[in-house]
Structure 1
Amino acid sequence: MRNIVVVEDDQNIRDLLVYALNNNGYRGFGYPGYESFFANIKEVNPSLILLDLMLDGKDGYQILKELRESEDYKDIPVIIITAKDNEFDKVKGLDMGADDYITKPFGVLETISRIKALLRRVPQNDTSVSVIDYEGVLIDYKKRKVFVEGEEIILTYKEFEMLYYLMENKNIVISRNKLMEQVWGFDYAGETRTIDVHVRTLRQKLGKKGKLIKTVRNVGYKLGE
């Protein structure tokens, strides 16, 4: 599970974002400013940072500058939080190395969707397992390869993401809605029936190992016993 840090001095906004993160498959951590953030960054080891620029004391620009100058933290994705329609803040933040921005006021679902999109395209310094081998099925996330009893099989992007998520959470029942959120994101407007179609084709491609993916009636799916 990925750790996401929120650096925001408005407690109501900070608590709202942390709550949303904790309910969408992440571990959320909130800090009001520079000192508390850097006091905990090593322990938390964030996969992504939501950073308000207008902080009391040392502002978000100083935090962003120190992150990008650090050998340990320079590659952590950063989404800056800016005032509405303040183009100067957006441009300056992006020029300093931010990966994306959201403007206040913002929608929580859009923010979660942007986080997912950024984590999909930016290399992570998180603790997720890259290679998982289970009951003759091996998946290598970094190389985007899947092997069944030593033979490589070809999956679509969504089939691959779904299989990896199921294997990463083996023996845990995953609801259709959760699969939709994790694999398609909030910006996907389809129905959960799409999940059933992809599971069916995924089982076919896995051959006899397709039976590892079990249907849990009225809930969703799980991989394993």
Structure 2
Amino acid sequence: MTVALEHATAATSPAPPVPAAAAPPRPARLVLTPKTALAGQLDGAWWPRSRDLEAELPVLAAALAEPWGRITRVTVNPSRWPVIPPKVPVAGHTLHVGWFTEQDPDKLILLSYTVGRWDLLVIPPQTTPAAAARLMAAASVPGSVLTAGALIAAEAVIGRRPDVRNREDAWESEGGACMYPTGSPARQPVGPLSAGAWW
């Protein structure tokens, strides 16, 4: 009897994809109030790229590690964050996250065992760059008595009223702004104007 043997060929499957090098996280979009003797409502502003605390908090904590030390706790208002994880791993330690409905929805509170507490305005991720720049400038004014909610409300007024923005552009284009030697306007944050509008 003759037996035919077939050599089984190993099924060739495509090679597993080579993982692409993970892109380094983009730096935190953050501005801090200069150190002065004036105590204000806010210590700066943060413009996250999303409402994902697990993705955003490690980048923020890393940016604050040098000026403020290790951040250990964060509190938020749950109305602005769809998911609030109780803990977020951050560069060798755990960041504890809490929430309070009484807290200003547009503010993030950061705590550290060694240095203290800081309150940051949280600029909504979908904010335009021009609006975010205005909010960051306003939130970093030393000694400002304006709350996070007041700044967001004032920016909403400006966003609905293009005439307010156009007046500023016209003023600067007609020579009304201070000029640097290079010719670009020097923008300085100013206080609230009538009806709570911000320039």
- The TM-score with structure 1 as length reference comes to 0.26
Which structure has the highest helix share of the two? 1
- The TM-score with structure 2 as length reference comes to 0.28
Instruction: Using CA pairs under 8 Å that are at least 6 residues apart, name the structure with larger relative contact order, 1 or 2.
Output: 2
